[in-house]
């Protein structure tokens, strides 16, 4: 006797799955009431699931993710691909990852810079002007423009982001400190030692460069966002985390990839726009150099903007610490990559570096050999160089600057003979450098400005997304190129090659009408192991249903170990059913972790999501990875499935939607229950469904739209939005998703009936 609701010939009992039995019916059938009560107890208990284990007692998966999450102090080596083609593919993905992480994919709509240049100061062989312009509506880049005097252009242009020096562009080391620097050989002149940031700009101008020295946000004249906010943020601000009014660092900002680092990178792009708008600038000779945090800005801009000719990041590029400030970290940036590779994205163009007795001190043994190998493979071995001055601590002192002068002289074709000796100069005062005065008042700042800025950035995102709504096969291709690439980076993995997946057979049981297989799938390169089960009917129809449950593979079964009704229905129809423990469920839970598992953060007392999600995939993405592993294995299995279908309900429905978007045609039919969820509703970084950037790239509707043209069943939505239906039409194939709007208790069976058609 099976529990299918029809095998019992008791009228009021059959109604359990439809209406409730009437009290009069219970009284009239009193002898059966006890049977009913016992049956109800059985039904309730069947709502629980069996703990289905694949691994023997005492064994846990050898999965890297079970360890603590990676932080900025980890190890970040570069693995050089074997061929130019492999590097080109890898570099293309990492470059897009950088752009997405910065909130710059697609690039924000560029408005007019509206540059203001004023307050020219004359020196014997160079001039300095005060500059400010808009990188976003109402947000200003501020800085100093140094030009050669008495020389004929066109000139090379050099951008100088400064890094974490006190007061930034206004930095003064002080008389006492500089004397010690001179004693140890770090500086030659008192002025260059006290004002090292001015020193490099002035020397480059003397060498024939136009130099724009611009403020890091929160420093000098760039105070629309405070130094404390940009560089010292630690505690969440509830007043800046409202659904329709938020600031940086909030869940709302992270969901849209709005970060102070991304804003700084946008400033760098605008600074390059400004440089190239000037007269007498040779666009084929553009350099960028900065130290420490300025080094980060240097290699990030150089990685994403092809207009840069040569770069020289100082005391930043290493396999060690990746940058400890909130201004040089953001979600997604260094997941499965690091500063060596990020600098290497510039290859084969000239990359010069300098190291010191800090986190860069091992560059010659760790990092430089791999960069050399990469440049040699690309036929440009002379275009990469690192110089290590390990007798100096963290710096951009005179010996380090001299290495940069030589590098730029060669690769920007400045024609200066080595050695290039830095000259003394008359320093500029803060009064001479500051860009704002009575005639040029400071722009708005503070919390209200911050809220308006994030709202402006979000509005531009929404406008661009709306413009991408598909109306034809061509526009659907563009939608997938932009929005699809965004989601690919958020998830961080494509469908793996089935040949890279190892299967360890652990259990096999004959259960009458079907075989039970319990296995372990292993991705060696990623160091991941996923427990899986197959319920394989003896009269298999060559179709596999990958059924994903929030509780893991145990979700296929009742408490007594028998298949749930909907699973048995599939088995009776001769479908093979596969399931798995996605990370954080079943046998794949970190030791000591509470369940259901939430996102774990790195060990820091600063409530900044970028310190965690800048180095680790969020739980949502990790679960999608596991589903992709199982899909790939099923598709590549020797038994040769003719069709593979994918099913997910509740929280698992969103994982399935993302897996389908990545897997594409590897899945034939997809049943998704969204449960009405939207990423925009999340308010906690550790929520298991939290995914940085999901709102920026259209939330759940856009995720579904990426699978337009495929065969899809959908529940959890009140209706299929018109733009989703239109997207299916624009894709040029398939019909819009079949929408189920019945009782929640019936949706699983409805999905099974749809799959069985």
CATH number for position 165: 3.40.50.1820
User: Average model confidence (pLDDT) for the chain?
Assistant: 93
Domain-terminating residue out of 397, 427, 461: 461
Phi and psi, residue 264, nearest 5°: -65, -40
Same domain membership, residue 510 and residue 390: no
Domain-terminating residue out of 429, 461, 493: 461
Q: Is residue 675 in a domain?
A: yes
Same domain membership, residue 497 and residue 396: no
Same domain membership, residue 419 and residue 549: no
d(CA 691, CA 698): 12
Same domain membership, residue 453 and residue 504: no
Same domain membership, residue 573 and residue 538: yes
Same domain membership, residue 291 and residue 422: yes
Distances (CA, A) of 107 to 256, 297, 459, 464: 14, 17, 13, 10
Q: Is residue 53 in a domain?
A: no
Q: Is residue 573 in a domain?
A: yes
Phi and psi, residue 54, nearest 5°: -100, -40
Same domain membership, residue 488 and residue 434: no
Same domain membership, residue 498 and residue 398: no
Q: Is residue 95 in a domain?
A: no
Q: Report the DSSP pairing between strands 281-291 and 245-246.
A: unpaired
Kindly report, residue by residue over 3-35, the tens digit of the pLDDT.
Answer: 233 332 323 223 333 334 443 443 444 444 443
d(CA 672, CA 683): 24
Is 363 within 8 Å of 317 (Cβ atoms)? yes
Same domain membership, residue 457 and residue 492: no
Q: Is 279 left (phi over 0), alpha (psi -120 to 50) or beta?
A: beta
Q: Is residue 336 in a domain?
A: yes
Q: Is residue 443 in a domain?
A: no
User: Three-class SS of residue 344?
Assistant: helix
Contacts of residue 545, defined as CB under 8 A and 6 or more positions apart, other chains included, come to: 570, 575, 576, 577, 578, 645, 646, 647, 755
Give the chain's residues under pLDDT 70: 1-50
Is pTM beyond 0.85? Reply is yes
Is 584 within 8 Å of 688 (Cβ atoms)? yes
Same domain membership, residue 434 and residue 513: no
Same domain membership, residue 497 and residue 455: no
Q: Which residue's structure tokens are 């579904």?
A: 704
List the domain range (segments joined by +) for residue 305: 115-438+448-461
Q: Is the dihedral of CA 491, 492, 495, 496 positive or negative?
A: negative
Question: Which uninterrupted H or E stretch holds 533?
Answer: strand 528-537
Strand partners, 576: 544
pLDDT for res 594: 85
Same domain membership, residue 223 and residue 341: yes
Kindly report, residue by residue over 652-689, the tens digit of the pLDDT.
Answer: 999 999 999 999 999 999 999 999 999 999 999 999 99
Q: How many domains does the chain have?
A: 3
Distances (CA, A) of 466 to 141, 212, 460, 699: 29, 36, 10, 13
**CA-CA-CA-CA dihedral for 604, 608, 611, 613, to nearest 10:** 130
């Amino acid at each position: 006797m099976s529990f299918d609701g029809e095998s019992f010939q008791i009228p009021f009992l059959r109604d359990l799955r439809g209406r409730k039995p009437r009290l009069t019916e219970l009284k009239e059938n009193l002898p059966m009431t006890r049977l009913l009560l016992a049956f109800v107890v059985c039904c309730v208990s069947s709502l629980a699931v069996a703990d289905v284990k694949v691994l023997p007692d005492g064994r846990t998966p050898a999965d890297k993710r079970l360890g603590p999450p990676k932080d900025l102090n980890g190890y970040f080596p570069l693995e050089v691909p074997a061929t130019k083609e492999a590097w080109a593919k890898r570099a293309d993905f990492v470059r897009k990852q950088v752009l997405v992480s910065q909130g710059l994919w697609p690039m924000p709509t560029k408005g007019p810079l509206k540059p203001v240049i004023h307050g020219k100061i004359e020196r014997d062989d160079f001039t300095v002007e005060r500059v400010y312009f808009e990188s976003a509506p109402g947000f200003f880049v501020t800085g100093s423009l140094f030009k050669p005097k008495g020389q004929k252009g066109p000139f090379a242009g050099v951008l100088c982001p400064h890094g974490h020096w006190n007061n930034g562009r206004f930095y003064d080391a002080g008389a006492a400190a500089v004397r010690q620097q001179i004693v140890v050989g770090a500086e030659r002149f008192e002025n260059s030692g006290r004002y090292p940031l001015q020193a490099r700009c002035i020397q480059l101008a003397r060498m024939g460069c136009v130099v724009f020295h611009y403020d890091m946000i929160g420093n000098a004249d760039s105070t629309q966002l405070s130094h404390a906010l940009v560089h010292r943020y630690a505690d969440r601000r509830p007043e800046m985390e409202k659904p329709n009014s938020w600031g940086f660092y909030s869940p709302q900002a992270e969901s849209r990839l709005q970060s102070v680092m991304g804003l700084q990178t946008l400033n760098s792009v605008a600074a390059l726009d400004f440089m190239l708008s000037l007269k007498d600038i040779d666009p084929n000779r553009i350099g960028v150099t900065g130290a420490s945090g300025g080094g980060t800005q240097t290699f990030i801009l150089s990685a994403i903007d092809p207009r840069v000719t040569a770069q020289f990041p100082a005391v930043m590029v290493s396999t060690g610490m990746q940058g400890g400030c909130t201004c040089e970290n953001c979600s997604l940036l260094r997941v499965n990559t690091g500063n060596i590779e990020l600098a290497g994205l510039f290859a084969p163009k000239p990359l010069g570096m300098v190291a010191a007795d800090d986190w860069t001190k091992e560059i010659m043994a760790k990092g430089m050999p791999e960069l050399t190998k990469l440049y040699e493979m690309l036929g440009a071995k002379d275009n990469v160089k690192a110089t290590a001055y390990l007798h100096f601590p963290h710096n951009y002192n005179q010996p380090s600057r001299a290495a940069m002068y030589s590098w730029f002289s060669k690769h920007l074709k400045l024609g200066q003979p080595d050695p290039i000796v830095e000259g003394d100069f008359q320093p500029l005062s803060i009064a001479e450098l500051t860009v704002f005065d009575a005639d040029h008042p400071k722009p708005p700042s503070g919390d209200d400005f911050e809220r308006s800025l994030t709202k402006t950035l979000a509005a531009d995102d929404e406008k661009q997304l709306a413009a991408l709504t598909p109306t034809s096969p061509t526009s659907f291709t563009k939608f997938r190129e932009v929005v699809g690439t965004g989601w690919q980076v958020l998830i961080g993995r494509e469908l793996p090659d089935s040949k890279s997946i190892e299967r360890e057979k652990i259990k096999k049981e004959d259960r009458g009408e079907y075989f039970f297989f319990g296995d372990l799938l292993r991705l060696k390169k990623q160091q991941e192991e996923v427990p899986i089960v197959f319920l394989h009917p003896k009269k298999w129809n060559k179709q596999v249903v990958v059924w994903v449950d929030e509780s893991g593979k145990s979700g296929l079964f009742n408490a007594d170990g028998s298949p749930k009704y909907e699973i048995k229905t599939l088995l009776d129809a001769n479908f093979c059913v596969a399931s798995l423990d996605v990370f954080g469920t079943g046998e794949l839970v970190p030791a000591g972790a509470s369940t259901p598992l939430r996102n774990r953060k790195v060990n820091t007392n600063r409530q900044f999501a970028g310190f965690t999600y800048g180095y680790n995939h969020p739980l949502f993405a990790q679960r999608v990875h596991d589903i992709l592993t199982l899909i790939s294995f099923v598709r590549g299995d020797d038994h040769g499935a003719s069709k593979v279908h994918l099913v997910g309900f509740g929280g698992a429905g969103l994982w399935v939607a993302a897996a389908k978007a990545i897997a594409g045609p590897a899945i034939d039919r997809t049943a998704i229950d969204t449960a009405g969820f939207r990423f925009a509703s999340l308010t906690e970084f550790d929520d298991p469904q939290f995914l940085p950037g999901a709102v920026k790239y259209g939330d759940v509707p856009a995720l579904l739209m990426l699978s337009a043209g495929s065969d899809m069943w959908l529940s959890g939505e009140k209706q299929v939005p018109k733009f989703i239906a239109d997207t299916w039409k624009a894709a040029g194939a398939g019909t819009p998703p079949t929408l189920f709007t019945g009782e929640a208790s019936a949706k699983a069976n409805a999905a099974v009936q749809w799959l069985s058609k």
